[in-house]
Structure 1
C-alpha cells in the first residue's frame, strides 16, 4: 500500500501534539474551506473515520484493526489524496490530526457528534453526545455535524437519543450547517443488537428522522444501500449511502451502492472501513473503484 505518513511526518505530528496544543486551534482557523458541499457533478463522497471513538475497532477477523492510529491516518491520507473524495466525516481527534497533517484544505469536513453509545455496552442505544456540538462546529469552521440515531422500540435509551438528535438538528440549522442524521432500526435478539434491513423498518426510520427538529431545511440522511424504492421514496431530503460493516465482498458492495445511487434523492457515499481496510490493503484502488461507481450512477 502507498505510504504517505512518513517517519518524519509522524514524528512531527507527535512533537506538535506534545509541545504545541495551540497548533490545533491555528489549524482550524487557517483551513481553506470549500465554497459548497456538493461537487461540480452534484455529488458528495466522504470517507468516514468516527468508528474508534465509539469503540468499534474491528474489521473482518482483526478486532483491533482501527486501533493503530498511524495506520489509520496513513490510510486516510491516501483516500483524501484522491481528487474524487470530497472530504471527511470524523471525530475531533481524527479531524485535528488530519488538520495538523495539512490534509483537509478545500475538503468538506463533517464533525461526528454522538459517540457515547459504545459498541457492545449495556447503554449502547442511549447514544450521548460526546463529540462536537453545534457551537463548536461553527467555531471550528466545519461544514456540518453527523449524528447516529438507532431506533429500538424495546429500549428506552432510544428516547433521550431521539431528543438529543432533534435538538442538534435545530441548533445546526440555526447556524446554516448540514445535519447528517443516520437513522437505523434495530431489534434485540438474544441480547444482541440486530440491524433491521426490511423495507418497512427502514422506511419508518427515514420518516422519523426526517421529522425531528424544528426544521428539516438543512437535514441530510445517511442510509444503508437498499433495493427497495419505498425506502428512498419516503423522503425528499438529500441522502448519502453508508458503507456499513465490510462484507468481505468488495464487488458486491460496489454493485449494491451503484443500484442505490441511481435513485433521485441519493447524492453520494459516506464510507469508512470498507474502503480504508479493503481485502488486500490497497486503499487507493478501493477508493478509486467507489468513485467510479458514484460517477457512473450520476
Structure 2
C-alpha cells in the first residue's frame, strides 16, 4: 500500500473518528513510541529491541486495544502505519516534533525539529504535539533547542493545540548525555519549560517520576501547568516503578501517564499485563 497508494495515509487521517478533546477525557494513558527516530532502539540489554518495526507495531496495536488506553505518541512513520491499520480510531494521537538530537551524537543537545510541525498535526487532525527539551548549561546546542521549543509552543498555541513539553536538566558524563532527576533539577526544568512562548495556555508538561515521593511533590509545585508522567525505561524493578507512579498520580496537577518501553517491552514480555496494570493505577487514583 505504501508503494502503490501513498495517498491512503491522508485518506485514513481524514476519515479517522475523533474522540473527546484532550482535556475532557479525564485521566490519560498514552503509549509512547517515538524513540526509533532519534536512533534510540535499545531496551535493556537488547540494542535493537525497537528495530523490528513489525514487532513494534504488533506491540502497539495490542497496547491500543486494551481497555483504558487512550492513545499513542509517535513520529510520522509510526503514526502513518497505525492509521493504515485503523488502530487510531477515537484515540488521542500525539505527534513527536523534535527528533534531531540523535542518541550519542555530538549535536545531541541541539535537538532540531525534524518531526511533526504544528501545521502537520493540524492537517492530520491529531490531538497534540510533544517536544523534548534537554538543557545543559555547558552546551550551546541547548540554547538552539530552547529557542526552537518556544517557537513551536507559539505555533501550537496559535492553532489551539496542546503540546507536551518534556524538560530535563542534563549534562555529559563520559561523553553520554545524562539527565538529573533530583527534585531540585526537575523543579528547575519545569520552571524553565513553563515560561516558554508567548502563552502557556496550551502547554502541558511531561515529567519524569523521581524516586522520592516528597521530592516529586516539591518538584511539581514549581508549575501550575497540567502534567503527564513520563514512565521511562524500568531497569528490573517494575513493581517499584508502579508504586512510584501510583504515588505521583495522586498529585493535584497530574493528568495521567505517557509510557513507552516499560509497557511495550516489559521484562516478562507480557505487554497486555503491563498495560492493564498501568491502566489500573489510573482507576485507583
Paired residue for 1:196? 180
Greater shift after overlay, 193-202 or 62-71?
193-202
Contact 1:221 1:237 in 2 (8 A): yes
Q: In 1, Cα distance between the equivalents of 2:51 and 2:176?
A: 23
Q: In 1, Cα distance between the equivalents of 2:268 and 2:250?
A: 29
User: Secondary structure of 1:256's partner?
Assistant: helix
- Runs (4+) of structure 1 exceeding 2 A deviation are none
Q: How does 1:11-26 map to 2 (within 5 A)?
A: 16-26=1-11
Contact 1:84 1:291 in 2 (8 A): yes
Residue 169, structure 1, aligned to residue 153, structure 2: yes
Q: Any unmatched runs of 5+ in structure 2?
A: none
Contact 2:67 2:276 in 1 (8 A): no
**One of 286, 293, 298 as aligned partner of 2:274:** 286
Pairwise CA RMSD: 0.9
Q: In 1, Cα distance between the equivalents of 2:241 and 2:235?
A: 7
Residue 276, structure 1, aligned to residue 264, structure 2: yes
Paired residue for 1:150? 134
Paired residue for 1:140? 124
Q: Give the C-alpha shift of residue 278 in structure 1.
A: 0.5
User: Secondary structure of 2:247's partner?
Assistant: helix
Q: Give the C-alpha shift of residue 83 in structure 1.
A: 2.4
Paired residue for 1:261? 249
Q: Give the C-alpha shift of residue 198 in structure 1.
A: 1.2
Contact 1:179 1:219 in 2 (8 A): yes
Paired residue for 1:27? 12
Q: Give the C-alpha shift of residue 192 in structure 1.
A: 1.9
Q: In 2, Cα distance between the equivalents of 1:37 and 1:18?
A: 34
Paired residue for 2:34? 50
Contact 1:24 1:96 in 2 (8 A): yes
**One of 157, 161, 165 as aligned partner of 1:181:** 165
TM-score (norm 1): 0.93
Q: In 1, Cα distance between the equivalents of 2:44 and 2:176?
A: 18
User: Secondary structure of 2:2's partner?
Assistant: helix
Q: Any unmatched runs of 5+ in structure 1?
A: 1-15
Paired residue for 1:110? 94
Contact 1:238 1:265 in 2 (8 A): yes
Q: In 1, Cα distance between the equivalents of 2:54 and 2:140?
A: 38
Contact 1:38 1:44 in 2 (8 A): no
Q: Give the C-alpha shift of residue 39 in structure 1.
A: 6.1
Query: How many equivalent pairs are there?
Result: 281
Q: In 2, Cα distance between the equivalents of 1:194 and 1:173?
A: 30
Q: Give the C-alpha shift of residue 173 in structure 1.
A: 0.4
User: Secondary structure of 1:17's partner?
Assistant: coil
Contact 1:39 1:86 in 2 (8 A): no
Contact 1:114 1:147 in 2 (8 A): yes
Q: Give the C-alpha shift of residue 35 in structure 1.
A: 2.5
Paired residue for 1:8? none
Q: In 2, Cα distance between the equivalents of 1:138 and 1:39?
A: 19
Paired residue for 2:228? 240
